[in-house]
Structure formats: C-alpha cells, structure tokens
Structure 1
Amino acid sequence: MSTCKRLLLVAHAPSPNLARLRDAVLEGARDSEIETVETVCKPPLQAGPDDVLAADAVILGTPENLGYMSGALKDFFDRTYYAVIDDKQGLPFAAYIRAGRDGTGTKRAIEGITTGLSWRPVQEPLILQGAFQDSFVDEVRELGQAMAAGLDAGIF
C-alpha cells in the first residue's frame, strides 16, 4: 500500500463566494477515487511553516485585493518563507485567484514569492476574472481533483 501524501490548501475565503471556491477545491481533492492523499485546509492566518513542511503539494487561494494577493496570504508567506525555504524546494503548487479585475498583479506577486522559494508550479495560476460565475466553482473543483490525483499517481 502506498504512503499517504498530504495536500495543503491555504485559502483566504472572507466572502460566501470565496468560501464556495474553497469548498469546491476540497470537494475535488477529496474525490473518492483518490486513495492516498489527505487534504488539509487552513486559512492563511492559521497556516504556518509546520503545515508546509508536512505537505507534499500546496494549493493557494486568494482574492485580488487592490491588484495584489490578500494581506492574509502575504502574512502566511511572511511567516513561512525562511522557515521552509531550504527544506521545501521543488514543492509542487498551484494557485487560484478570484480577480474582480485582471489578476495580473496578484499572479505576479505569487509567482515572485514561489520562485524565491523554488516551488514548482504544476500549472499557470487559475485566474477567475470578472463578475462571479458558477463555472468558477467547477474550475477550482477540477484544480483540486487534478492536484490530488497527481499526488495519488506519483506524478508530483
């Protein structure tokens, strides 16, 4: 039997729609077909270095706030960065951004920090742009499922 792997979801969800997105990621990641992955979800202000050190992959979720990631996600990186930089190089990650505008500033900020950490993106950040759409829920559910399935299959 395979060893259980851990997928960490760090998602800032201060609104009902952002909570829907977080919950959809979890639903996808916890698909019954995925047998060897435990998914842990923490808000950014509660997640820390120990959570990242225990993770085999990470999904980051944030709204775009004033053209940047949420302050809570930035705080997570501020508290975590130096504590994990040596031990988690190459950590597979994905991100979704709920952007009222274009999301490019948020994407650039996440890419800058994760590049500094030497984390490995498994796909381009998913930017959910404009007015909220129910299709966003399906997109992030698929993201969660793909990340967990990739871990389950040993792809990353």
Structure 2
Amino acid sequence: MSRLLIVHHTTSPTLRELFEEVRRGAAADGIEGVDVITRPALAASAVDVFEADAIILGTPANIGYMSGALKHFFDTIYYPCLEETRRLPYALYVHGNDDTTGAVRAVESIATGLGWERVRPPATVTGPPGKDDLESCWELGATVAATISA
C-alpha cells in the first residue's frame, strides 16, 4: 500500500475546511491502495517523510511567509531527507487573508532544494474560501493520491 503524508498547520476554521477537502479528495472513490496519514507540522518527522510515497503540505501565509510550524518541519527534516527523498511527489495548499505569494515561493524553494517533484500547481486561497477554492483543494488531494495509487 502506498502512503500519502499530509503535513499541515491548521490554525483556523478556514484552514480546517481546506485540510478536510484535501483529505476527502485523497480518499476519493476510485483511488485504491493509498493510506492517508496526517501529521501536524510540529509533530511530523523525517521518519514520516521516509515512509511516504508522496506528501501534501498545508500552511497559512503569515506575514508573507509560510507558518513557523511548517518552517520548523522543514528545518527538522531537511538534511536527514536531502538524499533519501529526491523525486518525492508533493503538492501544496496555502491560505492567506491578502496574499499567498511569499508562502508559496518559500515552500517551493525548499521543496526544490530537497529535489521533490511538484505534482500540480498549489491551491492558493485568499479570504473566505469559495466553491472553486474548495474544489481545488479536493482536486489537489485526489491528484496526489491518484499519482501513487496502486
């Protein structure tokens, strides 16, 4: 069975809503052989990443950057995972009140340094999520899960 790891920093009802849509998409009908594992960013470890066949990252955009919790995750796993997780499929969802550009740029820069391969463009949401935003998060989860489906 393949393992999809969702590492998230879910600090608000809006981020909870996005996270739940990503998780629902990852468990969609027709996707078989994928075990979805979720970890808060402050609890996720290099072992979680080593055991994953793909990873989804979720963060708020805080003052133009990813959350401190997701940055801590990267600080913790970067060197242990640097060689072992090259080509790991990944995707990203970000919520911000005004802008998500800096957070997306920061996460993508680190993922590129790790040699991870982006499965699809990030799902970015500013302000309250609309129907299209929620669908984008669902599709993100489904796309990544289908990428590693049996």
Q: Common fold, TM-score beyond 0.5?
A: yes
Map of 2:72 onto structure 1: 75
Map of 2:148 onto structure 1: 151
Map of 1:53 onto structure 2: 50
Q: Counterparts of 2:46 and 2:85 in 1: how far apart (Å)?
A: 10
1:71 maps to amino acid? G
Cα deviation for residue 134 of structure 1 reads: 4.1
1:37 maps to amino acid? V
Which aligned segments of 4 or more residues in structure 1 are displaced greater than 4 angstroms? none
Cα deviation for residue 17 of structure 1 reads: 1.4
Choose the corresponding residue for 1:118, options 112, 115, 118.
115
Map of 2:7 onto structure 1: 10
Q: Counterparts of 2:15 and 2:47 in 1: how far apart (Å)?
A: 25
Q: Counterparts of 1:17 and 1:131 in 2: how far apart (Å)?
A: 7
Q: Counterparts of 2:58 and 2:118 in 1: how far apart (Å)?
A: 14
1:28 maps to amino acid? G
Cα deviation for residue 32 of structure 1 reads: 3.0
Q: Which moved more, 1:30-39 or 1:56-65?
A: 30-39
* TM-score (norm: length of structure 1): 0.91
Cα deviation digits, residues 24-66 of structure 1 (max 9, x gap): 1111111132111111011100101000000000000111000
2:54 maps to amino acid? A
Q: Which moved more, 1:58-67 or 1:93-102?
A: 93-102
* TM-score (norm: length of structure 2): 0.94
Q: CA RMSD in A?
A: 1.2
Q: Counterparts of 2:131 and 2:60 in 1: how far apart (Å)?
A: 16
1:65 maps to amino acid? N
- Structure 1 spans left out of the alignment, 5+ residues: none
Cα deviation for residue 133 of structure 1 reads: 2.5
SS at match of 1:88: coil
Establish whether residue 93 from structure 1 lines up as the match of residue 87 from structure 2. no
2:107 maps to amino acid? I
Cα deviation digits, residues 101-140 of structure 1 (max 9, x gap): 2211111101111111011111222211234324322221
- Structure 2 spans left out of the alignment, 5+ residues: none
Cα deviation digits, residues 2-41 of structure 1 (max 9, x gap): xx10000011111111111111111111113211111101
Q: Counterparts of 2:9 and 2:135 in 1: how far apart (Å)?
A: 18
